[in-house]
Amino acid sequence: MKLSFRKMVKMIDGVKIKKLKVIPDERGRLAEILRSDDKDFFIKFGQVYITTAYPGVVKAWHYHKKQWDNMAVIYGMMKIVLYDPRENSPTKGEINEFFAGIYNPILVHIPPEVYHGFKCISETEAIVVNCPTELYNYENPDEYRIPPHGNEIPYDWSRRDG
């Protein structure tokens, strides 16, 4: 059975959220996403990349065995969803939803072995910047996927208007 609504009971173990400070002036704006001296979030540098999604598109589910992700939505809005399947985790079975983007600039720090994905909820394409701890290995990717609308994770990606 898929849940159509699930209240966030507690933060998944290892997940952290950082509210990004946006500094506007007459020239534009600046927001730091991740700093090497940020002891609560920075582990090490692997690479930086962007990924996008068109309105209504879901990109999910996947996890990494070694890699931590540090995701920030820099344009548009995304619903970022995490699921904890880890057997020895105190938050096994928890689902967290975060609404991130231009109206809520946050960094989502995602530990290894936690499934994650996102859905573009804005009327235009949304852009995510990710700063993972590991380089992408083209021959042996640290990426494990399952379908976004399968039965493995009790989550329904559809919009809730209630």
Shortest CA distance to 116 belongs to which of 12, 5, 3?
A: 12
pLDDT band at 160 (very low <50, low <70, confident <90, very high): confident
150 φψ region: left (φ > 0), alpha (ψ -120 to 50), beta (else): beta
Contact criterion met (CB below 8 Å) for 67 and 134: yes
Q: Is 3.40.50.11540 the CATH classification of the domain at 16-145?
A: no
pLDDT at 9 over 70: no
Tokens coding 60: 């999910």
Each residue's pLDDT tens digit, 105-119 = 999 999 999 999 999
Strand partners, 63: 144
pTM of the full predicted structure? 0.92
Each residue's pLDDT tens digit, 57-97 = 999 999 999 999 999 999 999 999 999 999 999 999 999 99
Tokens coding 13: 């173990």
Tokens 């890699």 sit on residue = 67
Each residue's pLDDT tens digit, 25-58 = 999 999 999 999 999 999 999 999 999 999 999 9
